[in-house]
Structure 1
Amino acid sequence: MSEYEQLTVEKKSPAYWVVTFGNPPINLIDYGTVLDLRKLIDTLNRDPEVRVVVFRSADPEYFLAHWDILKDPSPLAALPPEPDDMSAWAGTLSRLGKVRALTISALRGRARGAGSEFALATDVRFASRENTVLGQFEVGVGAVPGGAPMAQLARLVGRGRALEVLIGADDIDGDLAERYGYVNRSVPDAELDAFVDAFARRVAGFPKAGILETKALVHQAVLPPDTEFTAASKAFEVSFGRPETQERGALLVERGLQQRGEVELRLGQAVAELTPASEGEADSTAVASPS
């Protein structure tokens, strides 16, 4: 029996691992995802041989959709407190960025909100040109993104483009993501798996010490400090609790959020079409913070 609930780990070789997300119906991120990722990160950091880890999805339409806003968040609160008072999710992302191997997101399908934050926390991102959708939709419902994509995107794409992505809250396709620097490359969908595999095997053949020392020096220059994750965590908690955010989130749920369908497929469009609750369209559905 696997030690993971939502992850499948395939060791292509002692130096090269492939991790596949599988949390039907649309690969939402929840408490189980956090626990699995923490176990995996601990295992990777203890392993003397692993050099490169590829993350991919079992669902071609959803890499990691976003946080599950309907799940009970209380199990997260029961976890040991994070350094610098980060949320459990932000702490997981901070750990991921420091893993003792090169981490690669092989993006196919949608990765928005916390799914985008996961991809940004990995070292390298390769995307399907035809079948990748990235985005941070939180501002569209009145919230601040909680996994510090402000810090990550600003370093990757610059101030103006980071603000466009974050405050525009729209969907970003594979080609635009490559032009902006959101991902390293967008590759034709039919070629993505072979391309990522070839790159990973190449890295896996190099001495581990050189990989880790080089990664550490790059991160010394550009990796966000934990204080930036803490600031994002706290801003998210405050913004997520605002009545207008709760109302907009409930309206999205009513229209089909977290279900396979048009809202999830075109979430950037869906948040732009929200009608304020004051006009009578929101219901009383409660949405849950991942703090």
Structure 2
Amino acid sequence: MAKQLDISSPAPGYLRATFSNPPINLIDLATIVELSDLVSRLESDRDVKVIVFESADPDFFLAHYDVLTDRARTAAMGPGPTGMHPWLDVLARLARAPVVSVASIRGRARGAGSEFALACDIRFASAEKAILGQFEVAVGAVPGANPMARLGPLVGRGRAIEIVLGADDFPGALAERYGYVNRALPDAELDTFVDRFARRLSGFDKETLVEAKRFVDQVTLPEDAVFPPALECYFRSVARPAAKASLARLLDAGLQTRSAVELDLGRHAAGI
């Protein structure tokens, strides 16, 4: 099976991880395993100071979780080092890893793709080409990795409710205005800006970066205990008839293919 993450090192202390899982960068069991291995490296490598996550596909950063993956297999995955399900484990460990993680978002990051971006320390987005969203409620499901717990401190209660319950798409510029991302930059400037930022951090003392980040984490990161109940609720909700019917409708219309449904999922998920 082809690797989904291409890891390169543009400069000492600086890693770049590029997602590539055609046709649209769905998140599946293999994605979780590769990310877990990468996070283990970030936790133990004394030289890495900053990592940038980007996509080889200009239309999809990380589309969402693969809804055709057997839910029983997903639910049965053994716990990670935190004791949580591996997807929750990856996100929690990434958020607390002793490196600075940057999501450079070009294309769509919805559902679990949005959850991954929210677990990164920093999100920079293409003003023209980035689209973020939590579409799950529109198909009758509760978001499984509890992005609500990460969105609340970032955007405030009202906007978190709008994002999650409204289940619509948020283009890069609007996501910046809400605080969903740090900055939305002109697409032609995104790569240069992110690379310059990462190189800047890679030149700083690692111990100082780690200590300063840890103090921010203490007052901003949710406790791990808030995440497992949301995943349990997700598995219950997607098993209900309404969710099954909504997903079947979307799959018939082109969900998980390079289609108008995936390009404009916020509208199609709501049946508009």
When normalised by structure 1's length, the TM-score is 0.90
Amino acid at match of 1:166: V
Aligned-residue sequence identity (percent) comes to 52
**2:11 touches 2:199 (CA, 8 Å); kept in 1?**
no
| 1:55–1:105 CA contact under 8 A, matched in 2 | yes
**1:163 maps to 2:154:** no
> 2:32 and 2:246 mapped to 1: Cα distance?
26
2:69 is paired with a residue whose SS is coil
Answer with 237-246 or 76-85: which moved more.
76-85
237-246 or 191-200: which moved more?
Answer: 237-246
Aligned to 2:183: 185
Q: Distance in 2 between matches of 1:131 and 1:96?
A: 25
Correspondence for 2:67? 69
How far apart in 2 are the matches of 1:80 and 1:15?
32
Matches within 5 A, 1:204-223: 204-223=202-221
The correspondence for 1:260, drawn from 253, 258, 261, is 258
Q: Which runs of 5+ in 1 are unaligned?
A: 275-291
Q: 1:204-256 CA distances to partner (integer Å, 9 max, x unpaired)? A: 00000111111111111010111111121121111111111111111111111
2:47 corresponds to 1:49: yes
Counterpart selection for 2:150 from 139, 142, 152? 152
Among 11, 14, 35, the alignment partner of 1:37 is 35
For 1:238 and 1:86, locate their aligned partners in 2 and report how far apart those are by CA, in whole Å: 17
Matched with 1:280 is: none
Distance, in Å, in 2 between the alignment partners of 1:188 and 1:169 is 25
What is the match of residue 97 of structure 1? 95
1:1-291 matches, cutoff 5 A: 5-82=3-80, 86-273=84-271
- Once the two structures are superposed, residues 39-96 of structure 1 have per-residue CA deviations (whole angstroms, 9 ceiling, x without a partner) of 1011111111100000000000000000001123454445322578643311221111
TM-superposed CA distance for 1:152, in Å, is 0.5
Structure 2 residue runs of 5 or longer lacking an equivalent are none
CA contact (8 A) 1:19 1:53 kept: yes
Shift of 1:5: 1.4
Distance in structure 2 (CA, Å) of the matches to 1:160 and 1:177: 14
RMSD of equivalent CA atoms: 1.6
- How far 1:273 sits from its partner (Å)? 1.2
The code of the aligned residue for 1:242 comes to R
State how many pairs are aligned. Answer: 272
* Matched residue, 1:279: none
